[in-house]
Structure 1
Amino acid sequence: MSDDQTTVPAAPAEAPLPAAETPAPDPAAETPAPDPAAKTPAPDPGADPEATPAADPAAGSTPLRLGFARGIAPSTWAQRWETVTGAPLELAPVNVAFGRPAQLDCDVMLERALPDHRPAGSSGEDRTRHALRLYTETITLVVPADHELAKRESLALSKVADVHLLDHPFHPEAWPAAQPWADPSWTPRTVPDALALVATGAGAILLPTLLARHLVDKRQHAMIPVTDADELPRTAVWASWAVERDAPDVQQLIGVIRGRTARSSRSNTESADAAEAVPAKKRKAAAKPAKSSKPGPKPGSRGAQLAATRKKPPHRRKR
């Protein structure tokens, strides 16, 4: 190497980066030792080891919600449901006298319908609700508290024609005629509005008995049951529920409401509905037990004497 050449010192090698250090485990965060007192449930020998355990359907389930219109008492069905299922039934009063509101937050609705009418949406091929008729209602005349008939315990249907009846949207056409309003805008829109007019002395109205009992003010109104009204069509109470909500739990509730047992079929509801259309007089006649066709012993015969001996002797008074 010549003297005019300068020796360039080699660059120092870069120091290697220190490796990332793994933090030492915290002794306080260690998993506690298993409790020897805790017992592990024994495995079921018949269970599939790969199967996922099913959830309990009763745990955290929402109770069924039963809506009901005014004048309908659902307490009996609620008690029967709790007896059968052991679960409570949520009752939801709905502030309507007839039908149901457009927005309804319940699984089953107990609603009232005018004579020869069904719940809305429950007829036709494109129906949106199922419906079951439960019972028909009796008729009551509501008059002002100071009316001349207010003290009557009952009133024959033929006498209702002598009373000034106020027209309202829920007065059936087949009932005794109501007086139309001179100005249609005066027509009350609801049953409470009609009762408010009755209290002023403007007239009287006909209502289903339980609805009248629920809505009248005893200080302002008097209720008079109407007799001899079997030929009049009656309002009816129905149970209705949405078609898409026709699940086993709803069907069980409908069975409890209808009184259906485990041996009954759903087709029985149709025959029961047809039976309710039979007039009340015929139903009462069919319910009476048939008289025995076997004649009794002739008076004075041996059989009559034996029958007389079986009778208990009259009770003697103590002296």
Structure 2
Amino acid sequence: MANGSGSRGRGGTPRRAPGSKAAPAKRVSAPKAKPKPAPRPPREAPRTFVLGAIPGATPGKWIGLWRERMPRVALELREIAVETQVAALDEVDAALVRLPLAASDDLHVIALYEEQPVVVMSTESHLTAADEVDLADLAGEIQITPADDVLHLEIPDAVAPSFAPPSDTAEAIATVAAGVGIAVVPMSLARAHQRRDVEYRVLRDGPVSTVALAWLRERTTPDVEEFVGIVRGRTARSSR
């Protein structure tokens, strides 16, 4: 009599039917290794970018952008004199200067903007009656030219003062405020030394003053290149 176990071999192992194939063994995959975290970039060492600026320069917008993009690099603004602006480049990373500069292979120079010349006069001067003036309107006026003059303008038919030139623009404008003569300066300097007892008018046919960014070629660094990009209007994502 059959015992019901004819389909099984000894030990209960199922028998394969003749000609049948064994089922493939299942592969057990090894557990995937967790990816290693990317190494953190090295922390920048604190440093300072030193920007020189001649009187009248207005780098406020660029300084604001620098602080947004380069929060770990402090920016120090250092005033430099026009008469020593080239020598001052040895002590700063870059500087806002006034052109012209003597041609040199040692310098990078990028012209940025031009300033209009203005005539500074006493509030009592007859020249205040006009909105703008021409050189011809200044004939017979006493021309006060300070020692730090940047325009190098000789007004036709102007009168030379009988006293020594003022030491700087501030002193020249103080002299004008006293009712003695006129001074011709870039507009930014007139604004910087604005007083209640003086006014200024645009000199339509006077020489402009160009402000430029300059730095020594041998001192070109990533920080300098970053500032150049800022003044040229490149965004934080654009390449150099």
Partner of residue 26, structure 2: none
Shift of 1:247: 1.1
Among residues 101, 110, 113, which one is paired with 1:135 in the alignment? 113
Among residues 81, 93, 109, which one is paired with 1:96 in the alignment? 81
Partner of residue 108, structure 1: 94
CA contact (8 A) 1:167 1:181 kept: no
Residue 251 of structure 1 pairs with residue 225 of structure 2: yes
CA 1:238/1:130 → structure 2, altered by over 3 Å: closer, same or farther? Answer: same
Shift of 1:137: 0.5
CA contact (8 A) 2:143 2:160 kept: no
Shift of 1:237: 0.6
Partner of residue 176, structure 1: 155
The AA in structure 2 aligned to 1:199 is: A
Q: Any idea what SS the aligned residue of 1:100 has?
A: helix
Q: Any idea what SS the aligned residue of 2:127 has?
A: coil
The AA in structure 2 aligned to 1:203 is: G
Query: Matched residues in 2 for 1:212 and 1:162: separation?
Result: 22
Partner of residue 154, structure 1: 132
Sequence identity percentage: 24
Among residues 79, 82, 106, which one is paired with 2:64 in the alignment? 79
Query: Matched residues in 2 for 1:45 and 1:201: separation?
Result: 74
Query: Matched residues in 2 for 1:144 and 1:46: separation?
Result: 68
Shift of 1:240: 1.3
CA contact (8 A) 1:99 1:112 kept: no
Task: Name which structure has the greater RCO, CA cutoff 8 Å, separation 6+.
Answer: 2
Q: Any idea what SS the aligned residue of 2:211 has?
A: strand
Residue 236 of structure 1 pairs with residue 236 of structure 2: no
Q: Any idea what SS the aligned residue of 1:219 has?
A: coil
Among residues 116, 120, 123, which one is paired with 1:145 in the alignment? 123
Give the aligned length: 203
CA 1:220/1:151 → structure 2, altered by over 3 Å: closer, same or farther? Answer: same
Query: Matched residues in 1 for 2:131 and 2:139: separation?
Result: 17
Query: After superposition, where does 1:1-319 map in structure 2 within 5 Å?
Result: 44=36, 55-56=42-43, 58=44, 60-87=45-72, 89-94=74-79, 96=81, 100=85, 102-103=87-88, 105-113=91-99, 117-118=100-101, 123-125=103-105, 127=106, 129-169=107-147, 170=149, 172-174=151-153, 176-177=155-156, 179-182=159-162, 186-216=164-194, 218-227=195-204, 229=205, 232-260=206-234
RMSD of equivalent CA atoms: 3.3
CA contact (8 A) 1:78 1:88 kept: no
Shift of 1:162: 4.7
CA 1:242/1:155 → structure 2, altered by over 3 Å: closer, same or farther? Answer: same
CA 1:241/1:263 → structure 2, altered by over 3 Å: closer, same or farther? Answer: same
The AA in structure 2 aligned to 1:92 is: L
CA 1:46/1:190 → structure 2, altered by over 3 Å: closer, same or farther? Answer: closer
CA contact (8 A) 1:98 1:111 kept: no
Shift of 1:174: 5.0
CA 1:134/1:176 → structure 2, altered by over 3 Å: closer, same or farther? Answer: same
* Structure 1 unaligned regions, length at least 5: 1-41, 48-52, 266-319
CA contact (8 A) 2:118 2:190 kept: yes
Task: Render the CA deviation track for 1:45-82: whole Å, top value 9, x for unaligned.
Answer: 898xxxxx9742x2x32131222222111110012223
Task: Render the CA deviation track for 1:150-181: whole Å, top value 9, x for unaligned.
Answer: 35433244323353322334264455345434
CA contact (8 A) 2:52 2:80 kept: no
Query: Matched residues in 1 for 2:197 and 2:122: separation?
Result: 6
Query: Matched residues in 2 for 1:251 and 1:84: separation?
Result: 13
TM-score when normalising by structure 1? 0.54
Q: Which has the higher strand share?
A: 2
Query: Matched residues in 2 for 1:46 and 1:255: separation?
Result: 30
